A and B are shown apart, each in its own frame.
Chain A
Amino acid sequence: MTNSNRFIINVVSTAIRVCGITMLPASFVGLYYNETKSSLILFTISVITITIGRLVAKFFANPAEPPVTRARYAAILITWLVLIFIGMLPFYGAGDNYSLIDSIVESCAGFCTTGLSVIPFSSMPLCLQLWRCLCSWIGGLLCVMLTMSLTPSLLVTGRKLFSAEIPSLSMLKESATYRGVYFKLMTVYFSVTLAGFVLLMVFGMGKFDALTTALCSISTSGLPMFSVDSSVGFNWGIKTVITILNLLGSLNVALIYIAALRGIKRACKNNELNFFLKILLISTAVISISQIWARINAIGPGSLGDSPAQKAESIMKMIADSIMASVSFSSTSGFITSDHLHWTPLTTTVLLLISMIGACAVSTGGGIKVSRLVAVSKSIRLGIYQHIHPNAVKPVKINGKPLDSAVVIRYSMYMVLFLIFILFGALLLSLDTLSIEQCFDISTSMMTTNGTVMSNLGNGTQLFQDLMPLSKVVIVILMIAGRIEIYPVLMVLFKSFWITKSND
């Protein structure tokens, strides 16, 4: 067995073990709610998965030498595919005769933290509902882990782990080994989820709803279990908790560490975080002004209230709604907590754009990622500068350190690739009976792992249910591409990816 295969099998076996273990709580919850059949099926799949995972890990020890780059990409892709396969089994086996492709889409949407759903949540047994949310939770966690550990040029030993491609991570040199980093990461992730769960219950949410909401919020996968009407109807406490959880999920993990260990001030010096907060601020301001302006224009100044106090209150409410919408879309969660029927075209456009920009690097959010946009925008400014001073030698700097030209090129290429995937995705979706707006909306929301279709707000499930099987395959590919950052999916198309050399 080659080094690479050994490595891939090892990574995949670890992932499926984690997946199997996470399935256990769902099956216990099923028992608690008297869903014996479904929970038994879940339990069986879980036991089989864990056993296979353990056996495989026992027979194929991790190779001592670091694997070749190709193997790391292959590991990411295969892990994701295997997870989606395992995640699909409960829906297919324990559900109410869901079709195979629907089960795959549901599982894929879970692991890719996309908020879409092709199976109406209310029709699912509770244990499957919980499993769907756990898929998102584990998908968010694994995504961070895999990008941290397997993305090439982030080489395998401790300090070099966070280098090259994701600049802000070079600030973090806390742990020398993977195990340490993982442990810390999981502790943070778990405790934030737990805190969210408790707070949601404090603000009046039911036990089960609080659990699923906390799981989905921290993993920035939206609120697929609630209809838009019910999520709009939440009280302010619940909305605030959801927003904060999403915001935390969309921040760079390294920055959260740094903020926790060395204070928020230090973390705020980071270019990426700075830029991300600016985006949130500007989008909130634009959306607030646009919404307030539209309301005054449509109904008149009296619509904001009679007394100054009432006016101030309704303006504050609209600003709060705008903050939530901005966080929801820039973290690529796509939950809706305000009256979307009155969103202006400007609001919709801004939300769509910030969801394309997406969250910070190494977070559970998707999109192009803020760190890339920072580098690209600096490179554009440098281009203009060099037009003015043609002989100037000036690098692109991130966090005060010069960024290698090759890295800038890669970031820019990623941005172009992202757009190409959206366009091709829309092109393939247009073979279905969709309008051009729907094609672009679906394609964009899949690539950004946002899951909310702007032209069908509030009725997404029906839209996805009605898609042709081919379109469902397309959205699965787009979701995976958006989640694991395109390259592993793109590589499959290259002949050299499949040719194994003797020294691999």
Chain B
Amino acid sequence: MLKRISGFFGIFLVFLGIMMIIPLIVALIYGEHSCVRAFLYGISVALIPGIIILLIRNKNAISEERLKLRYSYFVVSLAWLIASSISAIPFVIQGCIPNYIDAFFEMCSGYSTTGATILQNVEVVPKSLLFWRAQTQWLGGMGIIVFVMAFLPNFGINAQNIANAETPGPIATKLTSRFSGTAKKLYELYIFFTILMTVLLMLGGVSLFDSITHTFATMATGGFGGYADSIAHFHSNYVTWVVTIFMFIAGTNFNLFYGIRPLGIRKAFDDDEFIFYRRYVAIATVLVTADLMIRGGYHSLWRALTDGAFQVSTIVSTTGFATCDFDLWPAFCKIILIFLMFTGACSSSTAGGIKIVRVLSVFRMIKRDVKVRIHGQIFNDVRLNGQKLEAKDLRLMVTFTCFFIIMVFGITAVIAVDGFDPLTNFTASLSCMSNVGPGLAGVGPTRNFSGYSNFSTFVLALTMIAGRLELNTFMILFSRHFWDSNMA
């Protein structure tokens, strides 16, 4: 097994090193010498072992039978941890985050597209490091390994398995017969939206640097901004609405966009999950806007709608930007945001959370179950887009939902050792598990995670990765069965 995955990790490390060259160039452009040194260290930590592994690996091993499914999950989990650990190095060496655990948290937050930060003042961080932060989100958004698979040769690892392990949602859809083709297509779309949004932001008067970093954060539904007051910094309704719309797009199932050409827009988006998603967002926006007008102290409907729509969109897509301090909003609005944090957006998007497809299926299951209890027995199945969902799929979906809930509460209890109030802990745990970023109270949009101890920071960092990889992929590392294959 080790032989077979070593080749992959060699390539992966080289890829990581190459990716770090981009912020290095940014550092050179802005003349940030301390960052140049930091990135050179980072690049060498990634490149040197990567090249050595590639040179000494056994080339014959890769042509043998493909890797077993369970090792695919292992590869994915390990790759995400390695990526976060190595990417943290420049922050520590440059000195803006002196504590390695904190830097690791920041990078886990980046790759998992959470956007939670321990930086108390983000505006003093050098531009190249801000760029690197944003770039990690963009890489993590669609899945780092899917990215590697799309553009690099096959290293004996079943691409579909990796995609299943890394793609948000119950099943990774195939658009072409080969998975690398699908990955390529998805990335083409991802890049298209990224360029489009960058251009649109620049048209609104945002600088190139800010446009790129904020686009990376938006399209990946990450939420790292370059300013303490996030998107509110730009004081522009235009920018707010552009970001709102692109966050909504980033929370949509990317596969649907491929239906536009053959089927037309109406049919392509005639998808149960998407219909639910857009209604859900609309209802939440209306409720939040109404409460902001009635009890939130807003006097302008347009202002309330802008803030309401932005905040609903940013939380449901699990981005985590802010245009205002929603921690000061009425309790009603905050509870709606907690609903949104739990559910997240569509599957096969860059969003986190339980995912609308599961929520929808569980709702339909509950509806069916109540009907069974009323009538004794009925014969209609739980369907999604007209297709019957098998008992096994149903069990997996509802079990996942329970697992998610249990983990959120479990992590809340674990980080309670630091002595913060239960609401802070609960929203911190939920926000990290759903990859949102900010929570409420002590981890609200104007606060950060720096108050937590090293232990809790580390736990929350792992929570983000576990949430991004949809729990099971990551949690198998903690199963005895994984390490002892003969165990029944």
Contact = CB atoms under 8 A, between A and B. Distances in A.
Given A346-B417, A385-B479, A413-B365, A419 B374 contact: no
A439 B330 CA distance: 12
B402 A376 contact: yes
A453 to B, nearest CB: 12
B402 A389 contact: no
A390 B69 contact: yes
A491 B374 contact: yes
Given A384-B479, A390-B69, A405 B399 contact: no
B405 A416 contact: yes
A353 B429 CA distance: 14
Given A345-B419, A496-B375, A388 B398 contact: no
A100 interface: no
A436 interface: yes
A401 interface: no
A345 B371 contact: no
Contact of B481 (A73, A385, A497): A385
B373 interface: yes
Nearest to B294: A431
Interface stretch (A42-50, A245-253, A422-430): A422-430
B413 interface: yes
Given A70-B375, A380-B406, A487-B373, A423 B339 contact: yes
A383 B396 contact: yes
Interface in B4-51: none
A93 interface: no
Interface stretch (B109-117, B267-275, B469-477): B469-477
A260 to B, nearest CB: 33
Interface in B106-159: none
A344 interface: yes
Contact of B366 (A346, A387, A413, A439): A413
Given A413-B366, A427-B332, A431-B332, A388 B70 contact: yes
A491 B375 CA distance: 11
B463 interface: no
A348 interface: yes
Q: How large is the interface on B (under 10, 10 to 19, 20 to 34, 35 or more residues)?
A: 35 or more
Contact of B331 (A390, A409, A434): A434
Contacts of A434: 331
B335 A409 contact: no
Interface in A382-438: 383-385, 387-390, 405-406, 408-410, 412-413, 415-417, 419, 423, 426-427, 430-431, 434-437
Q: How large is the interface on A (under 10, 10 to 19, 20 to 34, 35 or more residues)?
A: 35 or more
Interface string B334-367: 1110110010000000000000000000100110
Nearest to B401: A416
Contacts of A376: 399, 402, 406
Nearest to A73: B373
A384 B476 CA distance: 6
Nearest to B362: A416
A415 B405 contact: yes
Interface string B364-404: 01100111011110000000000000011011101111110
Contacts of A191: none
Given A69-B374, A409-B394, A439-B331, A415 B402 contact: yes
Contacts of B221: none
A409 B365 contact: yes
Contact of A436 (B398, B417, B440): B440
B416 interface: yes
A349 interface: yes
B455 interface: no
A352 interface: yes
B105 interface: no
B422 interface: yes
Contacts of A408: 395, 399
A348 B391 CA distance: 38
A69 B376 contact: yes
Nearest to A455: B422
B442 to A, nearest CB: 11
Given A69-B373, A387-B70, A406-B391, A345 B421 contact: yes
Contacts of B412: 349, 353
Given A353-B413, A387-B473, A70 B331 contact: no
A390 B417 CA distance: 37
Contact of A379 (B334, B399, B409, B422): B399
Interface in B297-339: 330-332, 334-336, 338-339
Contacts of A436: 331, 334-335, 423, 440
A265 to B, nearest CB: 27
Given A387-B476, A427-B335, A437-B423, A417 B366 contact: yes
Contacts of B422: 345, 348-349, 352, 437, 454
Contacts of A458: none
Contact of B398 (A384, A412, A427, A435): A412
Contact of A496 (B331, B374, B475): B374
Given A376-B402, A423-B339, A430-B331, A387 B472 contact: yes
A400 B403 CA distance: 23
Nearest to B423: A437
Contact of B370 (A353, A383, A430, A487): A487
B361 to A, nearest CB: 11
Interface string B405-443: 110010011001101111101000000000000001000
Nearest to B376: A69
Given A487-B370, A494-B371, A413 B396 contact: no
B476 to A, nearest CB: 5
Nearest to A432: B331
Contacts of A491: 370, 373-374
B482 interface: yes
**Closest 8 CB pairs between A and B?**
A430-B331, A430-B332, A436-B331, A346-B416, A412-B398, A349-B416, A388-B70, A70-B374
9 contacts: A286-B413, A349-B425, A416-B366, A423-B335, A430-B330, A435-B331, A436-B331, A487-B373, A496-B374
Given A345-B425, A383-B396, 4 more contacts: A388-B481, A408-B399, A413-B369, A439-B331
